[in-house]
Structure 1
């Protein structure tokens, strides 16, 4: 004949409840946390372990004057420890310190209920004070609404629910000036809108504000350029005052030395229209022209200028262009010349090169005082 202990049904296994998806309990979300946890335990038929509807059986039993450990208690205790562990895992670190002296899952539940669900006057006043000073600040609309709603729920849990009109006032009072249009719409209605409707309007307004504050993906750069010019100096040959203003040798050498230490060409490229480099050094220049010389870039390089103008009287003097070499397409303009057999060429604005056929000197193109080398 089997004893009562031997007739205990041990076929039902222990249940390890997975509470990973339960939100951590904080000081502001007790109501939603308790609803979620209780529903989960109720689904496993384990809610009695926390609400007290399934108390612990006696630890021992006596049969024929013999006391032994109650197997039902052993099974209940093992299942309660699993529920206890699951509850501890759903608490934030600051809340876990409140339940360090508890032994069962029911004690954990009672301790948390006494802390966050006891309708004490101080607790209610604290929540009302939080609502009074609660504002949006840097929070999103979802965070702002969630913070207010959680406090409304706590007041309801404490037996002090707020009227719908009071909730709307709290929603409106904490909004910044940017949401004034939504506030005016809500206040101007004869029938108070629902919380869901207010939430929708605030989200739409938030989206518009974010769209208007987002900078353009490709903003147009602002560029300031400075252009300087010098007055034209067309003087007659007989004007001795301007002739005397020609740079003296030592003055010319100082200007030349200053030019050597300049930063090079800072104008606009003829190929890519970008300021700061010449066509010769443009990255879009064909490879055969970019490698004209293997020597490194120097601040001063030979420079040739070609000026073509309408016919003018021979008595007109032209201002010195500052070029080290001159170009001409007419060999008659050169008094002394000889054929050129070198590899150099004249690089023009589009990146192509012009061949050099002759070199020499010509007093008609150079400075009448100091003729320069000309190329044809």
Structure 2
């Protein structure tokens, strides 16, 4: 974070390359009714910086990812720190153990393409594949392509993509000759847009 706001999501301080006060965790100031003007100003300043960090974390999320956060769609204001948001994002999207990875793998294997929901289908696959890679349990490339195209809807345009990818999978002599996942996604997106 170039704005020196990393402390708002830091869990512990580890001075790897010298002293950096911006890497120390920061905590919300606690106020009571008798707080001084300086304490109130410090509180507002902390929340302003924390809001910047939360915005950085939240602004790049897709609508699908946002809907998975607690409090999504709530009508009341939910104040939470950037650290709480970061922790929730890691819990949802950063599966780090084998059981979580196995559950994500199973979910992707059974994921179905809903009509007119191509963006959600692609987003779920991208998110799941990223989770598995980050967890150290990547989805086999050939299997991911096969599951992805096999769950496309039936219809001549999607059938052509499915047959083409399955043919490429069957004739590839090595994994280097397999189509890239993103190139298959792009074919699906082109069909959906036309």
TM range (shorter): 0.5 to 0.7
- Partner of 1:195 in structure 2? 181
How many aligned positions are there?
152
CA distance in 2 between counterparts of 1:92 and 1:79 reads 29
TM-score with structure 2 setting the length: 0.59
Query: In the TM superposition, what is the alpha-carbon distance from 1:75 to its structure 2 partner?
Result: 7.4
**Greater gyration radius:** 1
Query: In the TM superposition, what is the alpha-carbon distance from 1:134 to its structure 2 partner?
Result: 0.8
Q: 1:130 and 2:100 equivalent? A: no
Question: What value does the CA root-mean-square deviation take over the aligned residues?
Answer: 3.6
Give 1:238-249 correspondences, 5 Å limit: none
Query: In the TM superposition, what is the alpha-carbon distance from 1:153 to its structure 2 partner?
Result: 1.3
Give 1:220-239 correspondences, 5 Å limit: none
- Partner of 2:24 in structure 1? 54
CA distance in 2 between counterparts of 1:205 and 1:157 reads 30
C-alpha distance 145-55 of structure 1, shift in aligned 2 (>3 A):
closer
2:4 equivalent among 27, 37, 45: 45
CA distance in 1 between counterparts of 2:121 and 2:181 reads 13
CA distance in 1 between counterparts of 2:42 and 2:137 reads 37
1 or 2, which has the higher strand percentage? 1
Gaps of 5+ in 1: 1-41, 60-68, 209-376
Query: In the TM superposition, what is the alpha-carbon distance from 1:154 to its structure 2 partner?
Result: 1.8
Contact 1:81 1:105 in 2 (8 A): no
1 or 2, which has the higher helix percentage? 2
Secondary structure, counterpart of 2:184 in structure 1:
helix
- Partner of 2:82 in structure 1? 105
Secondary structure, counterpart of 1:51 in structure 2:
coil
What do the CA deviations read for 1:11-53 (whole angstroms, capped 9, x no partner)? Answer: xxxxxxxxxxxxxxxxxxxxxxxxxxxxxxx142212321242
Contact 2:10 2:25 in 1 (8 A): no
CA distance in 1 between counterparts of 2:83 and 2:69 reads 20
- Partner of 2:48 in structure 1? 82
CA distance in 2 between counterparts of 1:145 and 1:93 reads 16
